[in-house]
């Protein structure tokens, strides 16, 4: 085979190395437009897990890379005069120039042809090739040329960032949060060179666009940028200086492609996908792409089959990392919303920002941080001893809940004219006695006209009496509260919902929730929804909380936050954020997909939130509560199929309620 790589960065070089190790007779040619010593940026970060993959793929390259490492286990957070240190993380940094030199030498030793200062502008320019690898980076012209087939999307994020270096010898992965008259600056800093008297660290500065503009960076040259930032961070830098290397302000582009290959052309690394620098995975992804592609080329009989296998196997891991990176970049885009948190909770929120770090993981890596947040939450609830976050009581709009677990609305149906029977009593009663703080009904119709067949109702006295039987059972047999989720399908929504709200009050429900995902409210404008909320709030008992359920994928985040502020002012006590199955796959890798929107609503609009959707474990529940992303977590399948979820979670943590 003749394999050609367009681009001589880590992706193209490492693929060439692996191919020649496995199949020395294959010809591998790399076209690189720059000189061998040209490189941009400063340091590259690897985790211990990534190093294991590299060691298995090519022990010799792995050994050469690790000899040049600067290592650290700690993360250090500088926030409002406090320095918080977290340990047990396991990171390594290496100078980007040194990494490229290692890969270049190894590739040449194995017979890879590297043609420097040779820019390819057309696919035909590479000559005959069995496989063309587009490793030409985030601005890939190959991706753009094949866009009709690859269907790429590029999401350019709002925050500004600039990549700099410094001689400050950071001994931990360091986050600096600097409040200035211009606004908040965030710094991501880590050491990549620690050899005798030579030290080098990456120093990435990030800020919101309005902060950037107020600080006068628009139109600033590299030298002006360096001078301004040295003045802003004079205290943090001390006698050290900042170093430039094509250090221009940028906006991060999140690149995704519907497919990564077409005919005999395949994308690798940043050309195919990007992950925000806050999780340090760009080079990792590129080199692991190369491993996966090499494996597929070995196993499959032809290039077409190999590229299909490569993508099927590799895409889930990439999309999982991209989901984590998306959550992380959104945290940094909105760091201002967390400035009011206590220092320990701010640090915890930062540590769990990717939604892939559970409370159990924090407790293993950094027991003092986990305990500090547990103590903080317990004290806020009037308890002396630390408590697992999910079991900390909470009061929402006057409704006191024993813990932060809820049963999400789960459709049972099968009613007789909207009147529920024993099935609802057994199901809701069983989950209430299982230990959760709140059980929610499935969607209940405010009137039966237009409602799906079998849906329960709150439109008649008989329906109210049937619900009262369930409510009384929950109250008598458990400390749990019970809420009704109300929808309207026809007629004048505010009037009908108000009448149903009165009936819900007669039935004894502790919480009333308006369902905006179906029926008339699913199509309502913000003004129409607020009109319905006003009518219901007036009809619903003043001492009981009102909630509104929003679907995360049905409303843009900025619009949701603005709507939540209006709902808060109308007397809504809780915004319940749900994520449909598609969101679990696309937005958060199947893990807590509703959390980012609930986080924004809670911390920007100042209203308590609940999240409903995919929850991986009890420890994930603890994490989102401890990080102040929401106040309540509603379990669906986990609780439906395991009524004793709460009891088992308590036993697993040694917590006795």
Last residue of some domain: 301, 331, 361?
A: 331
Give phi and psi for 602, each to the nearest 5: -65, -45
pLDDT at res. 641: 87
- Class of residue 495 by CB neighbours under 10 A (exposed 0-12, middle 13-18, buried 19+): middle
- The two tokens of residue 577 are 């954020």
Statement to judge: residues 408 and 324 lie in one domain: no
The least confident of 44-58, 157-171, 415-429, 596-610 is 44-58
Tell me the torsion sign for CA atoms 107, 113, 118, 122.
Answer: negative
Decide: 486 and 497 in contact? Cβ < 8 Å. yes
Query: Is residue 169, in this structure, part of any structural domain at all?
Result: yes
Q: Which residues contact 634 (CB under 8 A, 6 or more apart)?
A: 406, 407, 408, 438, 440, 576, 610, 611, 612
Q: Report the C-alpha gap between 512 and 398 in whole angstroms.
A: 13
pLDDT at res. 588: 41
Residue 270 has pLDDT above 70, yes or no: yes
* Across 258-267, average pLDDT: 98
pLDDT at res. 586: 41
As a whole-number percent, the residues of the chain with pLDDT over 90 amount to 83
Statement to judge: residues 406 and 322 lie in one domain: no
pLDDT at res. 350: 96
Last residue of some domain: 331, 365, 399?
A: 331
Residue 155 has pLDDT above 50, yes or no: yes
pLDDT at res. 261: 98
Question: How does pLDDT run across 84-108, given as a tens digit for each residue?
Answer: 988 777 778 888 999 999 999 999 9
Closest CA to 53 of 268, 292, 279, 271: 292
Q: Report the C-alpha gap between 549 and 560 in whole angstroms.
A: 11
Structurally, the chain folds into a number of domains equal to 2
Residue 585 has pLDDT above 70, yes or no: no
Give the CATH number, domain containing residue 602. 3.20.20.70
pLDDT at res. 56: 92
- The two tokens of residue 567 are 């709902």
Last residue of some domain: 306, 331, 356?
A: 331
The residue segments making up the domain with residue 418 are: 390-653
Query: Is residue 144, in this structure, part of any structural domain at all?
Result: yes
* Across 527-531, average pLDDT: 97
């Amino acid at each position: 085979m003749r394999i050609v790589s367009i681009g001589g960065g880590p992706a193209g070089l490492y693929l060439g190395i692996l191919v020649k190790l496995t199949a020395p007779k294959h010809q591998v040619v790399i076209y690189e437009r720059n000189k061998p010593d040209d490189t941009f940026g400063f340091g590259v970060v690897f985790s211990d897990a990534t190093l294991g993959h590299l060691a298995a793929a090519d022990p010799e390259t792995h050994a050469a890379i690790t000899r040049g490492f600067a290592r650290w286990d700690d993360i250090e957070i500088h926030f409002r005069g406090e320095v918080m240190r977290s340990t047990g993380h396991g990171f390594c940094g290496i100078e980007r120039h040194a990494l490229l030199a290692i890969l270049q030498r190894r590739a040449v030793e194995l017979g890879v042809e590297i043609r420097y200062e040779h820019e390819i502008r057309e696919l035909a320019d590479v000559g005959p090739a069995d496989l063309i690898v587009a490793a030409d980076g985030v601005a890939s012209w190959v991706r753009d040329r094949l866009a009709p087939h690859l269907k790429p999307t590029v999401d350019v994020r709002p925050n500004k960032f600039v990549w700099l270096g410094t001689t400050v010898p950071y001994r931990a992965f360091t986050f600096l949060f600097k409040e200035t008259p211009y606004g908040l600056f965030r710094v991501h800093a880590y050491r990549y060179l620690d050899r005798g008297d030579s030290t080098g660290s990456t120093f990435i500065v990030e800020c919101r666009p309005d902060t950037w503009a107020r600080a006068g960076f628009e139109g600033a040259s590299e030298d002006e940028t360096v001078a301004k930032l040295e003045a802003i961070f004079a205290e943090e830098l001390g006698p050290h200086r900042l170093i430039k290397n094509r250090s221009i302000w940028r906006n991060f582009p999140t690149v995704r492609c519907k497919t990564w290959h077409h005919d005999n052309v395949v994308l690798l690394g940043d050309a195919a996908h990007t992950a925000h620098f806050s999780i340090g995975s760009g080079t990792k992804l590129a080199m692991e792409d190369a491993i996966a592609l090499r494996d597929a080329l070995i196993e499959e009989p032809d290039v077409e089959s190999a590229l299909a296998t490569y993508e099927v196997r590799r895409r889930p891991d990439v999309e999982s990392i991209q989901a984590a990176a998306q959550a992380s970049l959104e945290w940094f885009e909105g760091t201002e919303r967390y400035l009011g948190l206590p220092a320990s909770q701010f640090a915890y929120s930062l540590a769990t920002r990717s939604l892939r770090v559970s409370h159990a993981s924090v407790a293993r890596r950094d027991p003092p941080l986990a305990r500090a947040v547990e103590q903080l939450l317990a004290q806020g609830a009037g308890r002396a001893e630390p408590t697992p976050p999910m079991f900390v009581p909470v009061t929402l709009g006057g409704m006191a809940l024993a813990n932060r677990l809820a049963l999400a609305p789960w459709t049972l149906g099968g009613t007789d004219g909207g009147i529920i029977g024993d099935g609802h009593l057994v199901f809701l009663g069983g989950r209430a006695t299982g230990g959760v703080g709140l059980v929610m009904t499935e969607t209940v119709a405010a009137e039966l006209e237009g409602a799906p067949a079998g849906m329960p109702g709150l439109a008649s006295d008989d329906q109210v009496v049937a619900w009262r039987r369930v409510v009384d059972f929950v109250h008598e047999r458990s400390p749990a509260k019970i809420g009704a989720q109300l929808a309207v399908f026809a007629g004048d929504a505010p009037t009908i919902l108000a009448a149903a709200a009165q009936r819900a009050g007669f039935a004894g429900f502790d919480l009333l929730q308006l369902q905006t995902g179906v029926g008339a409210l699913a199509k309502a404008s913000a003004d129409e929804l607020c009109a319905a909320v006003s009518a219901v709030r007036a009809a619903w008992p003043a001492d009981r909380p009102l909630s509104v359920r929003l679907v995360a994928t049905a409303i843009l985040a900025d619009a949701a936050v603005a709507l939540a502020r209006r709902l808060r002012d109308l007397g809504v006590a809780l915004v319940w954020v749900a994520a449909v199955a598609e969101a679990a796959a696309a937005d958060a890798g199947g893990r807590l997909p509703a959390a980012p929107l609930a986080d924004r609503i809670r911390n920007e609009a100042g209203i308590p939130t609940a999240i409903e959707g995919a929850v991986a474990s009890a420890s994930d529940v603890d994490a989102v509560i401890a990080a102040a992303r929401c106040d309540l977590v509603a379990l669906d399948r986990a609780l439906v199929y395991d009524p004793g979820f709460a009891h088992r979670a308590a036993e697993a943590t040694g917590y006795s309620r």
